[in-house]
Amino acid sequence: MALSETARFERCLTETLHHEGGWADHPKDPGGATMKGVTLAVFREFKGRPATKAELRAISDADLKAIYKAGYWDKARCGDLPAGVDLMVFDLAVNSGPGRAVKFLQSAVNAEPDGAFGPATLANVRALPPAEIVLRLRNRRERFFRSLATFDTFGRGWLRRLAEVSTLADEWARVR
């Protein structure tokens, strides 16, 4: 029995939050202060006002879920993706932005990497086995990580996260 979109979002969110952890404010992180993966800039945009770091540290589960659903899951159209691919794209959207996630997906499925997820992208997604898309996204994401100037600082954690997420995504992609 196929899972509902809500159930798929919940399980992808659980997995991504496992990797995002809690509070971080590393001076070399270009995202700046984050709580459970939500940056201060994203939190301020969500609140519509200049929220503080203390408010971000106390983010409610309801706000966290709303931010992840609207700002990452929906923006990257993860609900339209097959199981496994949804996790790869969602986790990438959270980690590197929804625009980059869509472009990486488009490259993985041989669509024009323009960042606009439309009918051509969806058709190309449906034309490939989900496990193949997961593998292509894994490889593309690893190349991207290794190209970043901050790889020496954060790379080991990024690659561990990628290995865990892609292994689970591959399992989900193979269940029919």
Q: Residue 59 is part of a domain; what is its CATH number? A: 1.20.141.10
For residues 84 and 170, is the Cβ–Cβ distance under 8 A? yes
Domain coverage including residue 31: 5-14+22-174
What would the pLDDT profile of 3-55 be if each residue is shown by its tens digit? Answer: 999 999 999 999 999 998 789 888 877 778 899 989 999 999 999 999 999 99
Which residues have C-beta within 8 Å of that of residue 7, sequence separation ≥ 6?
A: none
CA distance 129 to 100: 22
Burial (CB < 10 A; 0-12, 13-18, 19+), residue 70, is: exposed
pTM (2 d.p.): 0.93
Q: Is residue 145 left, alpha or beta, with left meaning phi > 0 and alpha meaning psi from -120 to 50?
A: alpha
pLDDT at residue 26 in the model: 81
Q: What percent of the chain has pLDDT over 90?
A: 87
Higher pLDDT residue, 129 or 33? Answer: 129
User: Is pLDDT of 176 > 70?
Assistant: no
Q: How many structural domains comprise the chain?
A: 1
pLDDT at residue 93 in the model: 96
Residue 163 pLDDT grade (very low, low, confident, very high; cuts 50, 70, 90): very high
CA distance 3 to 124: 22
CA distances, 51 to each of 80, 97, 119, 154, 175 (Å):
33, 21, 38, 27, 42
CA 168 to the chain's CA centroid: 14
